Chains A and B, each alone.
Chain A
Amino acid sequence: MKSLFLPTLPALLFGALLAGCGSNTPPGNIIRIGSASPLTGPQAHLGQDNANGAQLAVDEINAAGGVRLAGKTWRLQLLVEDDQADPRVATTVAQQLADDDVAGVIGHLNSGASIPAAKVYDDAGIPQISPSSTAIAYTHLGFKTAYRVMTNDSQQGAALAQYATRYLHATRIAVVDDRTAYGQGLADEFARAAVTDGAQIVDREYTTDHSTDFLAILTSIKAHQPQVVFFGGMDPQAGPLARQMRQLGLTARLLGGDGMETSQFVHLAGAAANGDVASNPGLPLDQMPGGAQFRKHFTARFGPIQNYAPYAYDAVYVMVDAMKRANSPDPARYLPMLASTDYRGVTGNIRFDEHGDLQTGAVTLYQVNQGKWQPVTTITGPAPLPASH
């Protein structure tokens, strides 16, 4: 009979253990903002970067005397949560933040986490601004609470296609993706835009996010004689892919998204990296309106910027800006104000369209030159209409 109690035992045990550090009601004049991103696991460095960006903004605002709303001075408090880049953990974390009565959430890092979490935030009426999720679906779920301060896949794909067709004058393009939500999403948007721009997709091949051998698909691609090979995926695959292209004597230019625009890619591809082009949303940091200033403050405190920290930083300011215009930290009151945001941040001018996407998103293209990524050009354009998703 005793064993019947055992199933509930661990739960009760942990309950007792954690009762001490549970939710305590926020004391007066504090606005809680959540930050959700992976702080452990393979993407911990990116997740931590986002949390740091948000923390910098929060600390700056507090140091400047906090926020004056409804005749009171409020201080910001950032609750940092780890979603492990896992959809299931993301919903638990979202629930946790909702339980803690946050006024808004900066997150999540990955689209795969932002999407399921968006439902929890919508149920709770909490505005969510993702600094880095690019999947189109995220803002097209029909939730009024979901925003992002980053270009989406459609915008990045269009910019890449524009580069391939107008700058490289490519008419024959092969497309490879790694069958992840990120890689496939970007590759599909790129292919769609490239066809609209008059290019022909001569071959469509696939790999996985664990593959190292691309010779079979590259041999097929070589037979179609493309001028550009587009790869939707991350640097661990892009690196050996570039090497194996050279090994097979494939002279086409390798083009990729932000998953490839990393130092790790250059490291893995070695000499084969030279001349390859990849995009990253937004302006290069040093060309951003407050970029130099931001870099100085951020690196002094947290060390080198990984990638999306400026976006997380801006997201906090955008949220506070909406609160100021609503004169209230209450999500129900300031959410309508978020839609009419017109904020000049570090990353550029932030205005949202009816879905919560950026109205104009800049995408910068970088090329590897002597082992270093160098900015080539920035393509700014209105958000193209997304495909019927």
Chain B
Amino acid sequence: MSHSRRSAWSTYAALAIGLLALPFLLQAGIGRSWVRIIDMALLYSMLALGLNIVVGYAGLLDLGYIAFYAVGAYVYALLDSPQFGLHWPLWAVLPIGAACAGLSGVLLGAPTLRLRGDYLAIVTLGFGEIIRIFLNNLNEPVNITNGPQGICLIDSVHLGTFSFSHNHTTMLPGLTGPVQYYYLFLALTLLVMFIALRLQDSRVGRAWAAIREDELAAAASGIHLRNFKLLAFAMGATFGGLAGGLFAGFQGFVSPESFNLMESVMILCMIVLGGMGNVYGVVLGAITLTVLPEALRMLGDWQLNHLGHVIVDPNDLRMLIFGLALVAMMLIRPAGLIRSRRHQREYAGDRP
């Protein structure tokens, strides 16, 4: 007993040291740009974990999830940029953004919850597009979102006078902007993972699982469908909003084109690939699908440098690979790369 506990602790310690050292290793080894890529991967992990609550836990297919990311990003952008001349502190802006996203999750969810899965997918897709269209057009008659031009010069993520974008190499050698963001995003990703794991085993998580597996039976056993579905929408949207706010501060620029339908589909790919419902699988899926395009981009650069021109356009291949992966996963390994035990039972059974 004590032996296995000790080995567990040493695994944890090794993992912690590995995660803490990772950005410095990447920075020293292959450059800061890779730290930035890992930062994006962590942001996507948060997003995917949020969508996982809606799709993986509660079984509600949401194809407009990127809208919540957009809401979080635009709230941050509007409250922390020259657009309205506001520069609110982080502790106010991030929660407001997450709350706005959560609220819009409830607003979208409430009228659509009695719809069955496939209808819900289409309606959420429509809502997602409507939000994007509004963001793209709310520059007239009153300029709110600055329309297609997007909002630039967004303040970096900052706590008091500490800006995460500025290098603090005098404090600690190698402590550059991307590295600081890495630690912030890592901490928040771990927090979101922790919440997601706790939720899964809670009363709420079991209610979601019941709804996902058989709505009628769940209702018959006294689960309030409406409340639990709304809760799933709200929780998922809140995480999406949080990630969106961080994205705006990290990037310094948001525009509506970053929040199109393909982004929603890509996040769906992440959780399908990793294994719906499995927190570790979802994070793995998110990191894989963020790093993969970068690796593909390298493929393009390689062709350019060694063959003189791009023969196979990796950009063309990317979505094709994603689409094939979706189909293949459902046909061959529907429970994902890392299966959640409950889903495995669900997908293995030959139910009518």
A-side residues, CB < 8 A to B, are: 1, 3-12, 14-15, 18-19, 22-23, 39-41, 44, 48, 80-82, 84, 87-89, 91-93, 95-96, 98-100, 112, 115-116, 119, 123, 135, 137, 141-142, 179-181, 183-185, 206
Q: Are A123 and B165 in contact (CB under 8 A)?
A: yes
> CA separation between A231 and B141, bound complex, in Å?
20
Asked whether A1 and B165 contact (CB < 8 A) given A11-B41, A14-B291, A180-B148, the answer is no
Interface of B is mostly: helix
Q: Are B15 and A4 in contact (CB under 8 A)?
A: yes
Q: A181 contacts which chain B residues (CB < 8 A)?
A: 148-150, 255, 257
> CA separation between A84 and B319, bound complex, in Å?
14
Smallest CB gap from B137: residue in A:
A179
Q: A99 contacts which chain B residues (CB < 8 A)?
A: 31-33
Tell me the B60-80 residues at the A interface (CB within 8 Å): none
Q: B136 contacts which chain A residues (CB < 8 A)?
A: 179
Q: Are A115 and B165 in contact (CB under 8 A)?
A: no
Q: Are A14 and B295 in contact (CB under 8 A)?
A: yes
Partner of B26, one of A15, A141, A184: A15
Q: B314 contacts which chain A residues (CB < 8 A)?
A: 40
> CA separation between A343 and B147, bound complex, in Å?
36
Q: Are B251 and A116 in contact (CB under 8 A)?
A: yes
Give, as a whole number of angstroms, the nearest-CB distance from B253 to chain A.
Answer: 4
Asked whether A96 and B25 contact (CB < 8 A) given A5-B15, A7-B280, A82-B297, the answer is no
Give, as a whole number of angstroms, the nearest-CB distance from B342 to chain A.
Answer: 16
Tell me the B175-189 residues at the A interface (CB within 8 Å): 177-178
Asked whether A112 and B150 contact (CB < 8 A) given A87-B253, A87-B255, the answer is yes
Q: Are A96 and B33 in contact (CB under 8 A)?
A: yes
Q: Are B304 and A11 in contact (CB under 8 A)?
A: no
Asked whether A18 and B298 contact (CB < 8 A) given A8-B22, A40-B310, A179-B148, the answer is yes
Smallest CB gap from B250: residue in A:
A91
> CA separation between A116 and B19, bound complex, in Å?
28
Q: Are B315 and A87 in contact (CB under 8 A)?
A: no
Chain A CB within 8 A of B252 CB: yes
Q: Are A81 and B301 in contact (CB under 8 A)?
A: yes
Q: B304 contacts which chain A residues (CB < 8 A)?
A: 39, 80, 82
Q: Are B36 and A92 in contact (CB under 8 A)?
A: yes
How many residues of chain B get a CB closer than 8 Å to chain A's CBs? 58
Asked whether A93 and B33 contact (CB < 8 A) given A40-B313, A115-B253, the answer is yes
Q: What is the 8 Å Cβ interface bit string for chain B, positions 1-45, against chain A (1 contact, 0 not)?
A: 000000010010001001100100110011111101110110001
Give, as a whole number of angstroms, the nearest-CB distance from B65 to chain A.
Answer: 18
Q: Are B152 and A115 in contact (CB under 8 A)?
A: yes
B-side residues, CB < 8 A to A, are: 8, 11, 15, 18-19, 22, 25-26, 29-34, 36-38, 40-41, 45, 136-137, 147-150, 152-153, 165, 177-178, 251-253, 255, 257-258, 280-281, 283-284, 287-288, 291, 294-295, 297-298, 300-301, 304, 309-310, 313-316, 338
Q: B252 contacts which chain A residues (CB < 8 A)?
A: 116, 119
Given contacts A11-B41, A184-B148, 14 further A-B contacts (CB under 8 A): A5-B15, A8-B19, A11-B26, A11-B38, A40-B314, A44-B310, A80-B301, A81-B301, A92-B294, A96-B31, A96-B32, A116-B251, A141-B152, A184-B147
Q: Are A40 and B297 in contact (CB under 8 A)?
A: yes
Q: Are B31 and A41 in contact (CB under 8 A)?
A: no
Q: Are A82 and B301 in contact (CB under 8 A)?
A: yes
Q: B147 contacts which chain A residues (CB < 8 A)?
A: 179, 184
Q: Which 7 A-B pairs have the closest CB atoms?
A: A40-B315, A96-B33, A22-B30, A116-B253, A99-B31, A95-B33, A41-B315
What are 7 contact pairs spanning A and B, CB under 8 A? A9-B284, A40-B297, A99-B31, A100-B31, A115-B150, A119-B153, A123-B177
Q: A1 contacts which chain B residues (CB < 8 A)?
A: 8, 11
> CA separation between A92 and B152, bound complex, in Å?
17
Smallest CB gap from A4: residue in B:
B15
Asked whether A15 and B29 contact (CB < 8 A) given A82-B300, A84-B297, A91-B36, the answer is yes
Give, as a whole number of angstroms, the nearest-CB distance from A262 to chain B.
Answer: 21
Q: Are B316 and A87 in contact (CB under 8 A)?
A: no
Q: A84 contacts which chain B residues (CB < 8 A)?
A: 297, 315
Give, as a whole number of angstroms, the nearest-CB distance from A47 to chain B.
Answer: 10
Q: Are A98 and B30 in contact (CB under 8 A)?
A: no
Q: B253 contacts which chain A residues (CB < 8 A)?
A: 87, 115-116, 119
Q: Are A142 and B153 in contact (CB under 8 A)?
A: yes
